Amino acid sequence: MASHIVGYPRMGPKRELKFALESFWDKKSSAEDLQKVASDLRASIWKQMADAGIKYIPCNTFSYYDQVLDATAMLGAVPPRYGWSGGEIGFDTYFSMARGNASLPAMEMTKWFDTNYHFIVPELGPDVNFCYASHKAVHEYKEAKALGVDTVPVLVGPVSYLLLSKPAKGVDKSFSLLSLLPKVLAVYKEVVDDLKAAGASWIQFDEPTLVTDLDSHQLQAFTAAYSDLASNLSGLNVLVETYFADIPAEAFKTLTCLGGVTAFGFDLIRGTKTLDLIKGGFPSGKYLFAGVVDGRNIWANDLACSLNTLNALEGIVGKDKLVVSTSCSLLHTAVDLVNETKLDNEIKSWLAFAAQKIVEVNALANAMCGKKDEAFFSSNASALASRKSSPRVTNEGVQKAAAALKGSDHRRATNVSTRLDAQQKKLNLPVLPTTTIGSFPQTVELRRVRREYKANKISEEEYVKSITEEIRKVVVLQEELDIDVMVHGEPERNDMVEYFGEQLSGFAFTVNGWVQSYGSRCVKPPIIYGDVSRPKPMTVFWSSTAQGMTKRPMKGMLTGPVTILNWSFVRNDQPRSETCYQIALAIKDEVEDLEKAAITVIQIDEAALREGLPLRKSEQAHYLDWAVHSFRITNVGVQDTTQIHTHMCYSNFNDIIHSIIDMDADVITIENSRSDEKLLSVFREGVKYGAGIGPGVYDIHSPRIPSTEEMAERINKMLAVLETNILWVNPDCGLKTRKYTEVKPALENMVAATKVIRNHLGK
């Protein structure tokens, strides 16, 4: 039986691509240097899979930023503002679309389905002249072939590409993006012909939108697309891959009836109901790529259970048509457990990173062929039993506290309008108060201090002195800038989730468990293996230290329970809601300790609340109920005069605005500028929002520094739909990824713009 990997992490085991990208962006290395690092990583990945015995090895899953942007480049769908005049798209145009440049903003960035990975949203309209402008797919196929590795080129499917796009600025919002399908398919035909000529025998189209709620017109687009491509695909084996959820019955029917398609891939980890559809009728003679190894979590596979599933599927499709696969790309997992030399041995035995998942896939394929590795399966069973019985997983006190939450909706005693009045009397803020989201630039020196402290190369006293001095610099800068509600800059934190997880029980941490979030940005998700509690205060010392340096309000900065959950590798032995409630109780303890320490503004970030929303509408209400409830638990006990902020970013919030209101925060800061102020449309449509709100006035993920006039214009647009007394002024997100040479002038312009508008309002 054959084996297949949907996709693989790109950054490298020690983030080699990240450092190469940043060196190139900083003009410290050449394009050739960057390409050499990328080529070496690809070669290593292909060899690793080939050596492990994987038959269907993916190529063109490598990207310098993201696979949707790669598809945009392939199609030549460059927005006119970037000045591309034709020819093969190079790094200048590619990275300008992704990151912006000195004079132009970047394209919108949003979450890839319900993951923490991001993609650049295509901007399309009737006047786009699609053309074959990036030959990356065929170049990488040839590159692998020259190394003696036969691969399966992977393309973002044409229909999913259009469904993930948006109408360009100036194009009517009602414009049908699917009307562009014939033009897009003309380019896909050229790409397919190129790949056939290069010797490809298989091609994989990723069509993950098939797992979402699609109407009949959208489903018909899949039928039309693959029918149109059929003659070009003739002679190729064609795999259409889906992932991240159950595929609806109508979509399953549409997919399995597509002409010219020889194989179908399904996520059987998050799509367990799909098994019933397969058992109810799978087309004869077609391949089934069974995603039984989890591509989104780091727990070792239950090999015996997967083997039972595969045996059942073999009875339906036949041994020669069944392929063992991952549930989705391994992009969403850490790279290799071998690099974790400091991880607890017992917990390590429970885990499998991308490299280990490749071995699991092949072991299952071999077992199905009668070549079962008994020692490997026995070791796996022992690890699963160890995890199930380990006393470190269960904390009876935590479970009782979480169970006691049932029966209350945990709302603050007074309404938000009354609370805002009480807070204003205490804080005495000006109209349009300014603030930032939390983090300030993470300098090389700051990273060195944290690294040396973790390695015991400097004392705790030296560490505290260095971090305190960094906080002082940030406080002085904000006072010079005249920012109203301040932050301490989070110099003690490398990552907002990792920082809290390190101080909570039930979490484990890696050294090199990096996962790509977007571009060169990597995160190191903590591993939640057991019941969660807070042994001692986590942020009170630093918040109190910072507040002691200024008379202005200093925000206490916390990460909310839903974001900690969604940005971690979460235990899979209990419902996610139960784990979230446990985290909420831990954060509640911290909120109340901050209040006792005289911190009057406390921000509880829920940047990932929208990200965890299930892809199917039928499942969304249940998630929003426990997610919003978890947030309210964290601050239910504070006084009316304590102002609770939250922050959200880089998702589409319009469809959950009523749940956001139900969170009952006093102030919400929310990404707005990079998404073309899409958020404001919900208020134009009549949604009433009575709490404080700060839609971001500039994009922090671009090095571009917007002018005072540009930000003043954004503020005026906000005032057209929001009341003056609830509007705050702030960037889209935290500033840690930027440099001080970018941050200082941008914030100067932001404050200046605010003062211009205040003066205008005063007159």
Report, as residue numbers or ranges, the catalytic residues.
701
Give the Cα-Cα-Cα angle 249, 253, 258 (nearest 5 degrees). Answer: 150
Tokens, residue 125:
């309209």
CA-based nearest residue to 727, from 413, 484, 412, 489: 484
* Contact yes or no for 435/669 (Cβ under 8 A): yes
Tell whether 521 is in a known binding site.
yes
Residue spans of beta strands (DSSP E) within 242-368: 263-267, 287-293, 322-326
Determine whether the annotation assigns residue 374 to a binding site: no
Q: Cα separation of 211 and 208, whole Å?
A: 6
How far is C-alpha 217 from the chain's CA centre? Answer: 29
Give the whole-angstrom CA distance, residue 58 versus residue 26. Answer: 31
Tell whether 257 is in a known binding site: no
User: Which uninterrupted H or E stretch holds 155?
Assistant: strand 151-156
CA–CA distance, 165 with 178 (Å, rounded to integer): 10
Rounded Cα distance between 141 and 760, Å, is 60
Residue position matching structure tokens 């939640």: 528
Q: Is 625 annotated as a binding residue?
A: no
Q: Are the beta carbons of 374 and 48 closer than 8 angstroms? A: no
Q: Is position 451 annotated in a ligand binding site? A: no
> CA 504 from chain center: how many Å?
23
130 neighbors 187 (Cβ within 8 angstroms): yes
SS3 for 551-602, per residue? CCCEEEEEECHHHHHHCCEECCCCCHHHHHHHHHHHHHHHHHHHHHCCCCEE
CA distance 51 to 393: 36
Give the residue carrying structure tokens 């690890």.
Answer: 383
Residue 174 DSSP one-character state? T
Any known ligand binding at 450? no
Structure tokens at 741: 């040479």
Contact 359, 328 (CB under 8 A): no
The annotation status of 18 as a binding-site residue, yes or no, is: yes
Residue 658 marked as a ligand binder: yes
Q: Which of 653, 655, 555 is nearest to 605 (CA)?
A: 555
The answer to whether 546 and 601 are in contact (CB under 8 A) is no
Instruction: Centre a 10 Å sphere on the Cβ of residue 31 and count the other Cβ atoms it contains.
Output: 11
Q: Which strand (E) or helix (H) includes residue 239?
A: strand 237-241
Cα-Cα-Cα-Cα dihedral sign, residues 716, 720, 726, 731: negative
645 is in an annotated binding site: no
Nearest to 298 by CA among 354, 257, 342, 254: 354
Is residue 490 a known part of a binding site? yes
The letter for the amino acid at 605 is D
3-state secondary structure of 284: coil
Residue count of the chain, please give it.
763
d(CA 613, CA 623) in angstroms, rounded, equals: 7
Is 131 labelled as part of a ligand binding site? Answer: no
Please tell me whether 699 is known to bind a ligand. no
Which residue, 171, 256, 189, 200, is CA-closest to 59?
A: 200
Type and span of the H or E element at 282: none
Rg of the Cα trace of the chain?
Answer: 26
Helix (H, G, I), strand (E, B) or coil at 602: strand
201 closest CA partner among 155, 166, 238: 238
On whether the CB atoms of residues 393 and 529 are closer than 8 A, the answer is yes
* Residue 497 CB contacts under 8 Å (≥ 6 apart), including other chains: 523, 525, 526, 559, 563, 564, 567, 568
**Chain CA centroid to CA 197, Å:** 36
Q: What residues pair up with 687 in beta bridges, in sequence order? A: none
582 closest CA partner among 597, 601, 596, 562:
562
> Is-contact 757 714, C-beta < 8 A?
no
521-523 and 515-518 strand pairing: antiparallel
Binding residues for 5-methyltetrahydropteroyltri-L-glutamate: 18, 116, 521-522, 567
Binding residues: 18, 116, 437-439, 490, 521-522, 567, 605, 647, 649, 658, 662, 671, 733
Binding residues for Zn(2+): 647, 649, 658, 662, 671, 733
